[in-house]
Structures are given as C-alpha cells and as structure tokens.
Amino acid sequence: MINKKHLNGVIWLLFIILLGISFMINVTHYFNTKEIDTASSLCYEKGGNVILKIYNNLTSEYYFSCEKK
C-alpha cells in the first residue's frame, strides 16, 4: 500500500510536470505568434499578400507565404 507521503510526492511531481508542459506550449505559441506577426509586417511592407494556414494550434504547426500582388 502506498502511504500518504509517497502519494503527495507523486501528485506534486505530476503537477510540476504538467505545469512545465503548459509553460513550454505557451512559450512556443508566443514566439510563433511573434514570428508570424513579423513576417506578415514585412510582407505587407513589400506590398505582398499574406497566406497563412494554421494546421494545429497545440503544436503551432503552420504554413506562411508572402505572394506579390
């Protein structure tokens, strides 16, 4: 039988792991958003049209293209 001390340790460990995963997903999302914003701004400055397809919000997988008008 697992005693309460070990159970609390396991719960805290799982909490810390989930917190770390959440943090990494949010950081990745933040930097991908910044990257898309920067690329879009540069495309518009050059007079182009932005084509952006986001395939998966969780993994931040996307396709970006700048086509000239």
How many residues appear in the chain? 69
Range 39-58 average pLDDT:
91
Alpha-carbon distance 47 to 69, whole Å? 7
5 sits in which H/E element: helix 4-45
Nearest alpha-carbon partner for 37 in 59, 16, 52: 52
- Residue 68's SS3 state is strand
pLDDT tens profile 2-32? 688 788 889 999 999 999 999 998 898 899 8
* Cα-Cα-Cα-Cα dihedral sign, residues 17, 22, 26, 28: positive
